[in-house]
Amino acid sequence: MPVFRSQRVVLPDGIRPACVHVADGKIATITGYQKGPGDYGEATIMPGVVDTHVHVNEPGRTEWEGFRTATESAAAGGITSIVDMPLNSVPVTTTLKAFETKREAARGQLYVDVGYWGGVVPGNVGELSKMVAAGVLGFKCFLIDSGIAEFGWVAEPELRPAMEELARAGAPLLVHAEVAGPMPAHVEGDPSKYATYLKSRPRASENEAVALAARLCAETQARTHIVHHSSSDALETLREFKHKAPLTAETCPHYLHFAAEEIPDGRTEFKCAPPIRERDNREALWRALEEGVLDMIASDHSPCAPNLKSGDFEKAWGGVSGLQLALPVAWTEARKRGFSESDLARWMCAAPARLAGLQNRKGSIAVGFDADFCIWRPERSFTVDPAKLHHRHKLTPYAGQEFFGVVDAAVLRGEIVRFDDPPRGRELLR
């Protein structure tokens, strides 16, 4: 029976020396530390990271990213489970038929385990329960133009019946929380300046959208999750509603690391929506994570072909590419603020597993769980060399930056992931 040993094993009740015994890909027992084969010494053994926000883009926009490159990047970054977003693939995952097409495209290409979110769009409420029965883990919706014509946005009249349906099905609704109302029709200023872009997507758009989602969550009691939360003003709404409604929220490494004041002009690899905001906003997001108002950190890896990232913030495609770096970026900032690997495991392993309904299999080093581990060195640093990223395209705002947290290996069901081996990842179906 393989054993994974280390002086630093991140267990649900703390970090300590331990031996994790694996049988048939699952954790069989956890015992006190003893010397023997499979000893990782001072390296930390943490649960494999669960990233519930990845845009794989295959089929249809495979030239942006695909299952093979995305899952390789994930494994190289210590992530052992990802959940794919229903856009920007073609077709978008908004029907049962499209879901089957997506599964077909993924076959034989997965280096880590992959689950799927479906989409709620105008007119597809009849598809939702069928998709749940087929294994979709939950659904994403937009309250504003998604940038993809066939992935339409929904407003309260469409949202309420969809949420009632999802409450019955017990599946979560993930909300892109921005509404168009408070957005200026046109912003004066140089489109190559980040400040001009930031003005075009004000906090008010997010605040209003979070308020709408929270209110409908309380009314329908459908599990509701705010994706890529950026506006610190809207944290108060989360704080208020979390007590009376099944409401959760995530933020992303780029909001926790960068600050609007520091983004160079013309560098559209930093463009995402909602935008990266000011320094004080970033600090408020960290306090919210500490307090539990924000539950988790997800990458929102959303790459595109590099030619769509011109120097013009108005025209460039939005999305930050950073799947392989999500753990070191989040850890570097967490470490600076005095948080431990246990905090990180709560935000990047246990909480996302719960969102995806995988809380009995993934996200913890506990008996009966899949033996998925991230083996890494939190005190070792490295400089990001884009050539070493497994992402299909190497353009990333993290290029050349230094981070703590070197990932030695990803372990999937008791075996180290190696890219020379045939892929062993499985689908995560409901």
Pure H helices in 135-277:
156-169, 194-200, 203-220, 235-241, 253-257
The residue number whose beta carbon is nearest to Zn ion equals: 300
Least gap, CB of 165 to Zn ion (angstroms): 23
Residue 57's alpha-carbon distances to 315, 371, 375, 422, in angstroms, are: 20, 28, 28, 22
Residue 184's alpha-carbon distances to 14, 27, 181, 197, in angstroms, are: 48, 53, 8, 11
Question: Interaction with Zn ion in 301-330: which residues (CB under 5 A)?
Answer: 302
With beta carbons less than 8 A apart as the criterion, state whether 19 and 30 touch.
yes
Q: Is 372 in the site for Zn ion (CB under 5 A)?
A: no
The pair of structure tokens assigned to 42 is: 């001072």
The Cβ-side half-sphere exposure at 394, using a 13 Å CA radius, reads 8
Question: Interaction with Zn ion in 132-151: which residues (CB under 5 A)?
Answer: none
**Per the omega criterion (within 30 degrees of 0), is the bond before 91 cis?**
yes
Crossing angle between the packed helical segments 96-106 and 125-134, to the nearest 10 degrees: 40
Window of 6-14, 88-96, 234-242, 300-308 that interacts with Zn ion by CB under 5 A: 300-308
Least gap, CB of 38 to Zn ion (angstroms): 37
The pair of structure tokens assigned to 291 is: 């307090």
Least gap, CB of 53 to Zn ion (angstroms): 6
Amino acid identity for residue 131 in this structure: M
Window of 27-35, 256-264, 286-294, 296-304 that interacts with Zn ion by CB under 5 A: 296-304
Least gap, CB of 20 to Zn ion (angstroms): 33
Q: Considering CB under 5 A, how many residues would be counted as binding Zn ion?
A: 2
Least gap, CB of 324 to Zn ion (angstroms): 16
Of 151 and 286, which has the nearer Cβ to Zn ion? Answer: 151
Closest CA to 384 of 123, 50, 54, 73: 73
With beta carbons less than 8 A apart as the criterion, state whether 359 and 370 touch.
no
Q: Is 178 in the site for Zn ion (CB under 5 A)?
A: no
Window of 41-49, 105-113, 292-300, 408-416 that interacts with Zn ion by CB under 5 A: 292-300
Closest CA to 191 of 314, 275, 274: 314
Q: Is 300 in the site for Zn ion (CB under 5 A)?
A: yes
Window of 34-42, 229-237, 259-267, 295-303 that interacts with Zn ion by CB under 5 A: 295-303
Of 5 and 140, which has the nearer Cβ to Zn ion? Answer: 140
Of 45 and 252, which has the nearer Cβ to Zn ion? Answer: 252
Window of 232-240, 245-253, 273-281, 297-305 that interacts with Zn ion by CB under 5 A: 297-305
Of 113 and 300, which has the nearer Cβ to Zn ion? Answer: 300
- Per CB under 5 A, residues contacting Zn ion are 300, 302
